[in-house]
Amino acid sequence: MKFNIAVIEGDGIGPEVTRAAVAVLERVGERYGHHFEFNYVLAGGRAIDETGVPLPASTLEVCQNSDAVLLGAVGGPKWDQLPGHLRPEKGLLQIRQGLGLFGNIRPAKVFKALKEASPLKPEIMGDSLDIVVIRELTGGLYFGKRGRDEAGAYDTMRYSEAEVRRIARLAFEVAKKRGGHLTNVDKMNVLESSRLWREVVLEVAGEYPEVTLNHQLVDNAAMQLVRDPHQFDTIVTANLFGDILSDEASMLTGSIGMLPSASLGEGRLGLYEPIHGSAPDIAGEHKANPLGTILSTALMLRYSFDLEEEALAVEGAVEKALDDGYRTPDLKGLGRTVTTEEMTDAVLERLV
């Protein structure tokens, strides 16, 4: 099969980790008889330097006509003084909007070999952890009406039934393929928008009798993530709550460099990126952890290309490399310290 992938290398360590991900996809193609065609386009700080805008129209067009988008990372202190509409991060928001991506899937997985990296006590963590947070991406407080008046400032948290229904369906679909358990997180005891949210989630639940649904208030969910994280499998929540809870869940793993993410819309086209930033302080030093980006390609194979066997092979290769003691500097003290390229080679060698 042939797949077209738009590649945005981005800034800082972005080019280094995307090179690793492309190498893994090429190896998958060799092993399983697929052809991945990579189209390199600009966004973020480098796009500002070369074109004057964070997202050139040509980049969005290529992304819209691709089967998936692979992103390294964008931004850095070099562009911090620019006005908001010209910041590198604005380009990422424009891509999400231009592609209609409304759901962010962020796994927080602790591999057995890295369980000591977790800040949780061993008796709480156990040997491993595997949670997915699904965050609504284009509505809620971040996109509601805002402003200032004589008395102060305000932001509005608003959701339509359609916005909630589509993210709920995405969450149930993901939960169905995982452990069959979905936790809805809201603040319905206080917020009217959360009361609507829960009503619609309950309606959608009727379409998925095979998935067990429960509810938690967001403050309780934040506490439970560190008290008893194993009670969770798949979590769905609103934009603001998801922003906070997914960051909290990611830190249970001990290293932000390990974590992938996927942003999806109505169809199969998705944007895949690690959750870490561009880390310009280590760019070019061969220290970047490529595993978050490599694991993002596994999500791409699973959600955009429907290649589950190939996705599992990538995830298995990463786990084998970790089991064999390979560690980038962010995982210091847990094994043999290697470069970005050596870690990538370790995964490639185990990709069978």
Which secondary-structure segment (H or E) carries 168? helix 161-177
How distant, in Å, are the alpha carbons of 145, 233, 285, 291 from that of 137?
16, 20, 33, 24
Is position 187 annotated as part of the catalytic site? yes
Cα distance between the two ends of the chain: 18
> Residues 90, 109, 115, 187: which is the catalytic one?
187
Q: Which residue has the tokens 């990296």?
A: 117
Nearest Cα to Cα of residue 103 among 267, 217, 332? 267
How distant, in Å, are the alpha carbons of 7, 100, 261, 263 from that of 307?
19, 23, 17, 17
Q: Tally the residues of the chain.
A: 352
**CA 273 to centroid of chain Cα atoms:** 6
Q: Is 245 left (phi over 0), alpha (psi -120 to 50) or beta?
A: alpha
Is position 219 annotated as part of the catalytic site? yes
Is position 142 annotated as part of the catalytic site? yes
Nearest Cα to Cα of residue 286 among 321, 334, 338, 346? 338
Amino acid at 276: H
Is position 11 annotated as part of the catalytic site? no
> Residues 243, 272, 287, 330: which is the catalytic one?
243
> Residues 130, 142, 320, 345: which is the catalytic one?
142
> Residues 49, 127, 155, 219: which is the catalytic one?
219
Beta bridge partners of 5: 38, 68
Is position 281 annotated as part of the catalytic site? no
What three-state secondary structure class fits 243? helix
> Residues 40, 130, 176, 247: which is the catalytic one?
247
Q: Where are the alpha helices (DSSP H) in 158-305?
A: 161-177, 192-205, 218-227, 239-251, 291-303
CA distance 168 to 134: 9
What three-state secondary structure class fits 339? coil
Q: What is the set of active-site residues?
A: 142, 187, 219, 243, 247
